[in-house]
Amino acid sequence: MINTDLQRDEARYKAQGFGNEMGMVGKIGLLIVDFVNGFADPQAFGGGNIPQAIARTTTLLAEARRLGWKIAHTRIVFADDGADANIFSLKVPTMLGLTEHNPASAIVADLAPEPGEYVVRKTVPSAFSGTPLAAWFVTHGVQTVVVAGCVTSGCVRASVLDAMQAGFRPVVVSDCLGDRAIGPHEANLFDMAQKCGDVLDLDTLLSRLPNC
């Protein structure tokens, strides 16, 4: 069934100049946002389509490693005593339980980092805010940042917006993103595609890589 509301929205945005595709240029980096045990667990912070997104990201990560991309992973990590509690944890107090040695904060086994991959510890949604991630990508000559992770409407959205504002070209891999609710997932994919990144599914991304 054709979603006429979506078609109407897309036409309005296009008429106003939104949604232009930026394309992939220069060196490519991969950013995997918060695919940790706690977000894979529907009894903790998970649910929705997160398990399927993790499964798809295993293919993306394998290809990124084969191609020699610079790869960064993120985790939410608060101090054991909550000394770094902030406004984010005030809004979502359960996040304070994601501490360094809590298994819920560990990256899922299927996506475990390998030597040389950067693990970013953060206490706010964006992977870039208050971290050296942008400088790390710049140091390695990265211009395009491919993004996977969860949740689409939260930490992914914040990271994609900050990547764009830092001068990177974000490429959002739609089926490698997950959210605990599908409505926010779909709405944020639409909005990111219009304003701050290219949104492609994994198969489309892989088909374009030889031409990057």
The answer on pLDDT for 211 being more than 80 is: no
The answer on pLDDT for 212 being more than 50 is: no
What is the pLDDT averaged over residues 64-74?
Answer: 97
The pLDDT value given to residue 2: 56
- In 60-185, beta strands by DSSP E: 70-76, 118-122, 142-150, 169-178
- In 44-117, beta strands by DSSP E: 70-76
The pLDDT value given to residue 5: 81
The answer on pLDDT for 39 being more than 60 is: yes
CA separation (Å) from 36 to 42, 68, 146? 12, 23, 18
Distance CA 199, CA 70 (A): 20
More confident residue, 10 or 147: 147
The CATH H-level (homologous superfamily) assignment of domain 26-211 is: Isochorismatase-like (3.40.50.850)
Is the Cβ–Cβ distance between 163 and 29 less than 8 Å? Answer: no
* pLDDT single digits (tens) 99-149: 999 999 999 999 999 999 999 999 999 999 999 999 999 999 999 999 999
What is the pLDDT averaged over residues 152-170?
Answer: 98
More confident residue, 7 or 108: 108
pTM, two decimal places: 0.95
Please say if 196 is a catalytic residue.
no
CA separation (Å) from 194 to 14, 17, 161, 173? 8, 9, 12, 14
Of 150, 155, 176, 196, the active-site residue reads: 155
